Amino acid sequence: MAAAAAPALLRHLGSRGAAAGASRRRPAGLVPTAEAARPWRWQPASQQLLLHARSTAQYAAPAAAQHTPAASAASGASTPTAEAAPAADQPHVSVLLREVLAAFEGLAVRRYVDGTLGAAGHASAVLAQHPELQTLVGFDLDPTAHALASARLAAAGAAVVPVAVSLSGAVRLDDAAAAAAASGSRTAFIVRSNFGRMRPVLQQLPLGGDSGGSGSPSSSSSSSSVGVDAILLDLGISSMQVDTADRGFSFLRDGPLDMRMDPAAGLSAEQLVNTWSEAEIGRVIREYGEERHWRGIARRIVAAREEEAITTTQQLVKAIGSPGGGGRGGGKRDTKYKHPATRTFQAIRIAVNSELQSIAQVLPDAIECLAPGGRLAVITFHSLEDRIVKWAFRRAAGMSPSDEALPSYCLPFEAPQEEATIKILTRKPILPSEEEQAANARSRSAKLRVVEKL
């Protein structure tokens, strides 16, 4: 049935993506960067997860916290101008929801994983569309998102089971939660963890059926027995976080300079701008913000912190100043980037949360967790994310990922796999319809890519 549904998916989505994406540009090639005192190096999954357990975090899904231009622009994401931003209290509309549901149409989705749960906007829609769904697993680090998602999924009829994950990666379920999961009713596991731990967590959860986990750490390192039918990664930043000044994501609101998606994570934006060298700060701004004036901005930040520690968002905005008159250095091409702090805030947020490394790690693991015929759908919101997804998918499909040099966080994708494990269902990324873009300006930068496990 999955194979038969693939042509329908392509007909439904492919023509729209081609039409809507005719004018998109991609930035110049990336250069390996460093995010700490020494350059970041690719490490095996188990070691990387342990090393970054306290400092990495995921993009929270937009679910009940709407994707809005205000959220994206204020946090430094490269999006259309904020003039079109809807009101802050506008009801949430999940980005590319219709297209995501179409991507899973025709599948018997008994096990569904949302790697970026947020407040469960996409997850609750998948739950409603697939009455056969028995087990839902959602990953998110934000405790606020957990509260919203739990209420939403419980209202949809799922037995909500909170899941704690230790620093070593061990899953902890209390007896009552384990009993609820074993009752045979629809179960929603809400995991307080980075999506980079998807594979080891799924191996330990009681997913139901003869190929589910055992509820305790598996003795096997293989995830082939997990057998998930559908996985979604929605990598957009959540306005639920941006709109809270105390989180420190927004350059439009004064607050502590934090930017941690997981409030308990180790590295904050304040630590980064006050302790990292000028060279390291400059590389972060150049590579993760694609900011033309990275040298000058890094120099201004270091000069400002010598006068006094930079502890608030507005202190950082003042230190950045107005290089070139715009977020990418001014000029006619850059008129849509209204605020000069846009790209610097984006870069620092990505570095603080190790966002790109987490994405590069989860993609091969997510593919491995799929059952034959299962599908992985990924929504990206800027070119750095989309490029990683494209390279990872091409490699898994047995294709050459890219002719250009890959950055350090993409080293596993340098060469194609000897044997393809997926087929790519979206030759070009799917873009929001004109109607969706008009209704929700935040959706304009979204791209959806879908693959199917062979």
pLDDT tens for each residue of the chain, 454 residues long: 555 555 555 555 544 444 444 433 333 333 333 333 333 333 333 333 333 333 333 323 333 333 443 454 555 554 333 333 333 334 456 899 999 999 999 999 999 999 999 889 999 999 999 999 999 999 998 888 888 899 999 999 999 999 999 988 899 887 766 676 667 789 999 999 889 899 999 999 998 754 444 344 443 334 345 899 999 999 977 766 666 777 878 888 899 999 988 888 889 999 999 999 999 999 999 999 989 999 999 999 999 999 999 999 999 999 999 886 544 444 444 545 568 998 999 999 999 999 998 999 999 999 999 999 999 999 999 889 999 999 999 999 999 877 666 676 666 677 788 899 999 999 999 999 999 999 988 789 999 999 999 9
CATH fold group of domain 245-353: DNA polymerase; domain 1 (1.10.150)
Residues β-bridged to residue 233? 378
Residues whose CB falls within 8 Å of the CB of residue 169, separated by 6 or more in sequence, listed in order: 46, 49, 50, 197, 200, 201, 217
Nearest to 351 by CA among 94, 112, 34: 34
Secondary structure (3-state) at 61:
coil
At residue 80, what are phi and psi to the nearest 5 degrees?
A: -60, 170
- Count the Cβ atoms, other than its own, within 10 Å of residue 36: 13
What pLDDT, on the 0 to 100 scale, is given for residue 82?
A: 30
- Residue 63 pLDDT: 34
Alpha helix positions (H), 52-134: 69-75, 97-103, 121-129
CATH architecture observed for domain 2-22+44-238+355-453: 3-Layer(aba) Sandwich (3.40)
Closest of 99, 17, 110, 139 to residue 374, by C-alpha: 110
Quote the pLDDT of residue 209. Answer: 54
Q: Output the pLDDT for position 441.
A: 82
What pLDDT score was predicted for residue 179?
74
Question: β-strands 171-172, 422-424: how paired?
Answer: unpaired
DSSP 234: E
What is the DSSP-derived secondary structure letter of residue 411?
Answer: G
69 and 80 Cβ atoms separated by less than 8 Å: yes
Amino acid identity of residue 9, one-letter, is L
DSSP per-residue letters across 94-116: -TTHHHHHHHTTTS--SEEEETT
Q: Residue 181: its pLDDT value, please?
A: 65
Identity of the amino acid at 285: I
- Could you tell me which of 115, 352, 121, 97 has the C-alpha nearest to residue 240? 121
Question: How confident is the model at residue 17, as a pLDDT?
Answer: 46
The β-bridge relationship of strands 370-380 and 447-453 is antiparallel
Domain ranges of the chain: 2-22+44-238+355-453, 245-353
Please state, in angstroms and rounded to a whole number, the distance separating the CA atoms of residues 357 and 341.
23
Chain-centre distance for alpha carbon 161: 23
